[in-house]
Structure 1
Amino acid sequence: MLRIDNQGQKIVETNFWDSEMARRGYFYLSWNAGAARLLVPDAQAGSVREMKSAKYVIVSRGRWEEAGRDDALELLFEDKSDNPYCLHLSKEQTDRLIPEEDQGGGFWVVVWTRRGQQLRLPGKYRKVETVPCLQPWSEN
Protein backbone atom coordinates (compact mmCIF):
# COMPACT_ATOMS: atom_id res chain seq x y z
CA MET A 1 0.00 0.00 0.00
CA LEU A 2 1.28 3.44 -0.94
CA ARG A 3 2.03 5.73 2.01
CA ILE A 4 2.66 9.47 1.88
CA ASP A 5 3.31 11.47 5.06
CA ASN A 6 2.59 15.17 4.60
CA GLN A 7 3.48 18.44 6.24
CA GLY A 8 1.16 20.76 4.33
CA GLN A 9 2.24 20.65 0.68
CA LYS A 10 5.56 19.06 1.60
CA ILE A 11 6.09 15.30 1.36
CA VAL A 12 7.91 14.33 4.55
CA GLU A 13 8.19 10.63 3.77
CA THR A 14 6.82 8.14 1.25
CA ASN A 15 7.36 4.57 0.19
CA PHE A 16 6.52 5.44 -3.44
CA TRP A 17 10.07 5.21 -4.82
CA ASP A 18 10.41 1.60 -3.65
CA SER A 19 6.88 0.60 -4.72
CA GLU A 20 6.01 -1.73 -7.60
CA MET A 21 4.37 1.22 -9.37
CA ALA A 22 7.61 3.21 -9.31
CA ARG A 23 9.73 0.20 -10.27
CA ARG A 24 7.52 -0.17 -13.35
CA GLY A 25 8.15 3.50 -14.23
CA TYR A 26 4.72 4.93 -13.41
CA PHE A 27 4.23 8.47 -12.12
CA TYR A 28 1.84 9.17 -9.21
CA LEU A 29 -0.13 12.35 -8.43
CA SER A 30 -0.98 13.10 -4.81
CA TRP A 31 -3.12 16.07 -3.76
CA ASN A 32 -2.69 17.84 -0.43
CA ALA A 33 -3.05 21.38 0.96
CA GLY A 34 -3.66 23.09 -2.39
CA ALA A 35 -0.93 21.24 -4.28
CA ALA A 36 -0.80 18.48 -6.85
CA ARG A 37 2.44 16.69 -6.02
CA LEU A 38 3.80 14.70 -8.97
CA LEU A 39 5.97 11.81 -7.78
CA VAL A 40 8.50 10.87 -10.44
CA PRO A 41 9.88 7.32 -10.45
CA ASP A 42 13.65 6.88 -10.67
CA ALA A 43 13.43 5.56 -14.24
CA GLN A 44 11.72 8.82 -15.30
CA ALA A 45 13.90 11.28 -13.34
CA GLY A 46 15.41 12.63 -16.57
CA SER A 47 11.99 13.96 -17.59
CA VAL A 48 12.21 16.65 -14.88
CA ARG A 49 14.71 18.47 -17.11
CA GLU A 50 11.99 18.75 -19.80
CA MET A 51 9.40 19.98 -17.28
CA LYS A 52 11.60 22.87 -16.09
CA SER A 53 10.93 25.08 -19.11
CA ALA A 54 7.20 25.25 -18.29
CA LYS A 55 5.51 28.43 -17.07
CA TYR A 56 2.52 26.50 -15.62
CA VAL A 57 0.83 23.10 -15.78
CA ILE A 58 -2.58 22.45 -17.32
CA VAL A 59 -4.31 19.51 -15.66
CA SER A 60 -7.09 18.22 -17.92
CA ARG A 61 -9.56 15.54 -16.83
CA GLY A 62 -11.49 13.44 -19.34
CA ARG A 63 -12.03 10.03 -20.92
CA TRP A 64 -8.87 8.36 -22.23
CA GLU A 65 -10.36 6.25 -24.97
CA GLU A 66 -7.04 4.93 -26.33
CA ALA A 67 -6.27 3.37 -22.94
CA GLY A 68 -9.85 2.24 -22.32
CA ARG A 69 -10.25 4.58 -19.32
CA ASP A 70 -13.44 6.44 -18.40
CA ASP A 71 -11.56 8.95 -16.26
CA ALA A 72 -7.95 10.07 -16.62
CA LEU A 73 -5.68 13.09 -16.29
CA GLU A 74 -3.37 14.89 -18.68
CA LEU A 75 -0.59 17.08 -17.29
CA LEU A 76 0.64 19.53 -19.93
CA PHE A 77 3.74 21.46 -18.87
CA GLU A 78 3.00 24.61 -20.88
CA ASP A 79 6.17 26.28 -22.09
CA LYS A 80 4.59 28.02 -25.13
CA SER A 81 6.54 25.75 -27.50
CA ASP A 82 5.09 23.53 -30.22
CA ASN A 83 6.03 20.44 -28.21
CA PRO A 84 5.55 20.91 -24.43
CA TYR A 85 6.21 18.01 -22.07
CA CYS A 86 3.01 16.09 -21.40
CA LEU A 87 2.01 12.96 -19.54
CA HIS A 88 -1.20 11.00 -19.03
CA LEU A 89 -2.28 9.30 -15.84
CA SER A 90 -5.05 6.81 -15.14
CA LYS A 91 -7.19 7.39 -12.06
CA GLU A 92 -5.21 4.60 -10.36
CA GLN A 93 -2.16 6.88 -10.54
CA THR A 94 -3.70 9.56 -8.34
CA ASP A 95 -5.18 9.62 -4.86
CA ARG A 96 -8.17 11.69 -6.00
CA LEU A 97 -9.73 13.44 -8.97
CA ILE A 98 -10.77 17.09 -8.81
CA PRO A 99 -14.54 17.66 -9.12
CA GLU A 100 -15.76 19.29 -12.34
CA GLU A 101 -16.97 22.37 -10.48
CA ASP A 102 -13.40 23.17 -9.34
CA GLN A 103 -12.22 24.23 -12.80
CA GLY A 104 -9.70 27.07 -13.00
CA GLY A 105 -6.43 27.71 -11.18
CA GLY A 106 -5.36 28.48 -7.67
CA PHE A 107 -3.18 25.47 -6.90
CA TRP A 108 0.44 24.41 -7.33
CA VAL A 109 1.96 21.49 -9.20
CA VAL A 110 5.05 20.36 -7.32
CA VAL A 111 7.40 17.81 -8.86
CA TRP A 112 9.15 15.39 -6.48
CA THR A 113 11.87 12.82 -7.06
CA ARG A 114 13.61 10.56 -4.58
CA ARG A 115 16.03 13.49 -4.02
CA GLY A 116 13.22 15.84 -2.93
CA GLN A 117 11.27 18.71 -4.43
CA GLN A 118 12.53 19.62 -7.91
CA LEU A 119 10.02 22.09 -9.33
CA ARG A 120 6.98 24.17 -8.32
CA LEU A 121 4.63 25.64 -10.94
CA PRO A 122 1.15 27.22 -10.94
CA GLY A 123 -1.58 24.78 -11.92
CA LYS A 124 -4.71 25.25 -14.02
CA TYR A 125 -7.50 22.67 -14.09
CA ARG A 126 -10.19 21.94 -16.68
CA LYS A 127 -12.67 19.22 -17.57
CA VAL A 128 -12.44 18.09 -21.20
CA GLU A 129 -14.25 15.52 -23.29
CA THR A 130 -11.20 13.34 -23.90
CA VAL A 131 -7.49 13.15 -23.28
CA PRO A 132 -5.08 13.56 -24.96
CA CYS A 133 -6.28 17.15 -25.22
CA LEU A 134 -2.95 18.97 -25.77
CA GLN A 135 -4.70 22.34 -26.16
CA PRO A 136 -3.35 25.60 -24.73
CA TRP A 137 -5.15 27.21 -21.81
CA SER A 138 -8.16 29.33 -22.71
CA GLU A 139 -9.43 31.86 -20.17
CA ASN A 140 -13.00 31.45 -21.55
Structure 2
Amino acid sequence: MIIQNKSQAIDWTDYWTSEHARAGLFFLSWNAGAGRLLVPDSQKRCLREMRGASQVIVSRGPWVDQGGRDALELLWEDGTDSPFAVHIVAEQTDRMIPDTQQGGGFDIAVWTRGGLKERWPGRYRVVDAIPDLRPWSEQ
Protein backbone atom coordinates (compact mmCIF):
# COMPACT_ATOMS: atom_id res chain seq x y z
CA MET A 1 0.00 0.00 0.00
CA ILE A 2 1.27 3.47 -0.86
CA ILE A 3 0.43 6.62 1.08
CA GLN A 4 1.87 9.95 0.00
CA ASN A 5 1.88 12.37 2.92
CA LYS A 6 1.67 16.12 3.15
CA SER A 7 2.45 16.52 6.85
CA GLN A 8 -0.62 15.14 8.67
CA ALA A 9 -2.66 15.12 5.47
CA ILE A 10 -2.88 12.28 2.98
CA ASP A 11 -1.96 13.66 -0.42
CA TRP A 12 -2.67 10.39 -2.27
CA THR A 13 -3.07 6.69 -1.53
CA ASP A 14 -3.87 3.52 -3.41
CA TYR A 15 -5.69 2.18 -0.31
CA TRP A 16 -9.14 2.84 -1.83
CA THR A 17 -8.50 0.23 -4.55
CA SER A 18 -6.60 -2.20 -2.31
CA GLU A 19 -7.65 -5.66 -1.16
CA HIS A 20 -7.89 -4.23 2.39
CA ALA A 21 -10.48 -1.67 1.29
CA ARG A 22 -12.40 -4.16 -0.89
CA ALA A 23 -12.59 -6.49 2.13
CA GLY A 24 -14.01 -3.65 4.27
CA LEU A 25 -10.93 -3.41 6.51
CA PHE A 26 -9.86 -0.17 8.14
CA PHE A 27 -6.21 0.92 7.92
CA LEU A 28 -4.41 3.19 10.39
CA SER A 29 -1.47 5.20 9.09
CA TRP A 30 0.74 7.47 11.20
CA ASN A 31 2.56 10.61 10.10
CA ALA A 32 3.61 13.95 11.62
CA GLY A 33 1.90 13.38 14.98
CA ALA A 34 -1.40 12.08 13.64
CA GLY A 35 -3.04 8.70 13.25
CA ARG A 36 -5.12 8.68 10.07
CA LEU A 37 -7.85 6.05 10.01
CA LEU A 38 -8.68 5.15 6.42
CA VAL A 39 -12.31 4.11 6.18
CA PRO A 40 -13.30 1.89 3.23
CA ASP A 41 -16.40 2.78 1.24
CA SER A 42 -18.33 -0.15 2.74
CA GLN A 43 -17.74 1.19 6.30
CA LYS A 44 -18.68 4.84 5.73
CA ARG A 45 -21.84 4.37 7.78
CA CYS A 46 -19.53 4.26 10.84
CA LEU A 47 -18.86 7.99 10.48
CA ARG A 48 -22.21 8.74 12.13
CA GLU A 49 -21.18 6.71 15.17
CA MET A 50 -17.94 8.70 15.58
CA ARG A 51 -19.63 12.10 15.75
CA GLY A 52 -19.99 13.70 19.16
CA ALA A 53 -16.82 12.21 20.59
CA SER A 54 -14.49 14.45 22.59
CA GLN A 55 -11.42 12.27 22.03
CA VAL A 56 -10.24 8.93 20.67
CA ILE A 57 -8.62 6.50 23.07
CA VAL A 58 -6.13 4.17 21.37
CA SER A 59 -5.54 1.02 23.42
CA ARG A 60 -2.95 -1.62 22.56
CA GLY A 61 -3.05 -5.20 23.77
CA PRO A 62 -3.63 -8.81 22.78
CA TRP A 63 -6.98 -9.34 21.03
CA VAL A 64 -8.42 -12.37 22.79
CA ASP A 65 -10.94 -13.27 20.03
CA GLN A 66 -8.11 -13.19 17.46
CA GLY A 67 -5.88 -15.68 19.27
CA GLY A 68 -4.08 -13.03 21.32
CA ARG A 69 -2.74 -11.18 18.28
CA ASP A 70 -1.24 -7.72 18.87
CA ALA A 71 -4.09 -5.26 18.24
CA LEU A 72 -5.39 -1.74 18.66
CA GLU A 73 -8.76 -0.51 19.83
CA LEU A 74 -9.82 2.98 18.78
CA LEU A 75 -12.62 4.14 21.06
CA TRP A 76 -14.53 7.35 20.31
CA GLU A 77 -15.18 8.62 23.84
CA ASP A 78 -18.54 10.37 23.79
CA GLY A 79 -19.56 10.10 27.46
CA THR A 80 -22.13 7.37 26.82
CA ASP A 81 -22.24 3.80 28.13
CA SER A 82 -21.71 2.43 24.62
CA PRO A 83 -19.12 4.46 22.71
CA PHE A 84 -18.20 3.47 19.17
CA ALA A 85 -15.00 1.44 18.78
CA VAL A 86 -12.93 -0.05 15.97
CA HIS A 87 -10.61 -3.02 16.53
CA ILE A 88 -7.69 -3.69 14.21
CA VAL A 89 -4.78 -6.13 14.22
CA ALA A 90 -1.17 -5.01 13.79
CA GLU A 91 -1.27 -5.73 10.04
CA GLN A 92 -3.90 -3.00 9.65
CA THR A 93 -1.50 -0.23 10.68
CA ASP A 94 1.83 0.94 9.33
CA ARG A 95 3.33 1.19 12.82
CA MET A 96 2.49 0.74 16.47
CA ILE A 97 2.83 3.55 18.99
CA PRO A 98 5.76 2.96 21.37
CA ASP A 99 4.68 2.12 24.92
CA THR A 100 6.69 5.13 26.11
CA GLN A 101 4.11 7.45 24.51
CA GLN A 102 1.28 6.53 26.85
CA GLY A 103 -0.95 9.49 27.56
CA GLY A 104 -1.50 11.56 24.45
CA GLY A 105 -0.03 14.27 22.31
CA PHE A 106 -1.38 13.23 18.89
CA ASP A 107 -4.51 13.55 16.78
CA ILE A 108 -6.71 10.88 15.24
CA ALA A 109 -8.18 11.86 11.88
CA VAL A 110 -10.71 9.95 9.80
CA TRP A 111 -10.25 9.82 6.03
CA THR A 112 -12.53 8.46 3.32
CA ARG A 113 -12.07 8.38 -0.43
CA GLY A 114 -13.57 11.90 -0.33
CA GLY A 115 -10.88 13.27 2.00
CA LEU A 116 -10.58 14.28 5.65
CA LYS A 117 -13.87 13.95 7.53
CA GLU A 118 -13.05 14.81 11.15
CA ARG A 119 -10.25 14.82 13.75
CA TRP A 120 -10.01 14.41 17.52
CA PRO A 121 -7.30 14.55 20.17
CA GLY A 122 -5.89 11.09 20.81
CA ARG A 123 -4.81 9.35 24.02
CA TYR A 124 -2.80 6.13 24.20
CA ARG A 125 -2.61 3.31 26.72
CA VAL A 126 -1.44 -0.28 26.94
CA VAL A 127 -4.10 -2.69 28.22
CA ASP A 128 -4.24 -6.33 29.29
CA ALA A 129 -6.66 -7.34 26.52
CA ILE A 130 -8.67 -6.05 23.57
CA PRO A 131 -11.55 -5.27 23.64
CA ASP A 132 -11.10 -2.91 26.60
CA LEU A 133 -13.83 -0.26 26.06
CA ARG A 134 -13.12 1.61 29.32
CA PRO A 135 -13.33 5.40 29.38
CA TRP A 136 -10.05 7.22 29.99
CA SER A 137 -11.17 8.16 33.50
CA GLU A 138 -11.26 4.48 34.54
CA GLN A 139 -7.72 3.53 33.64
- Note whether the superposition's TM-score is higher than 0.5: yes
* Cα drift, residue 92 of structure 1: 0.3
Moved >4 Å (runs of 4+): none
Q: Is the 8 A contact 1:75 1:87 kept in 2?
A: yes
Q: Aligned partners of 1:49, 1:15: CA distance in 2, in Å?
A: 25
Q: Could you tell me which residue of structure 1 aligns to residue 86 of structure 2?
A: 87
Q: Aligned partners of 1:139, 1:98: CA distance in 2, in Å?
A: 21
RMSD: 1.1
* Cα drift, residue 139 of structure 1: 8.0
1:101 aligned counterpart, secondary structure:
helix
Q: Is the 8 A contact 1:69 1:90 kept in 2?
A: no
Q: Could you tell me which residue of structure 2 aligns to residue 27 of structure 1?
A: 26
* Cα drift, residue 82 of structure 1: 1.1
Q: Is the 8 A contact 1:62 1:129 kept in 2?
A: yes
1:5 aligned counterpart, secondary structure:
strand
Q: TM-score, normalised by structure 1?
A: 0.96
1:43 partnered with 2:42:
yes
Q: Aligned partners of 1:139, 1:131: CA distance in 2, in Å?
A: 15
2:42 aligned counterpart, secondary structure:
helix
- Aligned ranges 1:1-140 → 2 under 5 Å: 2-138=1-137
Number of paired residues? Answer: 139
Question: Once the two structures are superposed, what CA deviation does each residue of 1:2-21 show, in whole Å capped at 9, x if it has no partner?
Answer: 00000000000000011010
Gaps in structure 2 of 5+ consecutive residues: none
Gaps in structure 1 of 5+ consecutive residues: none
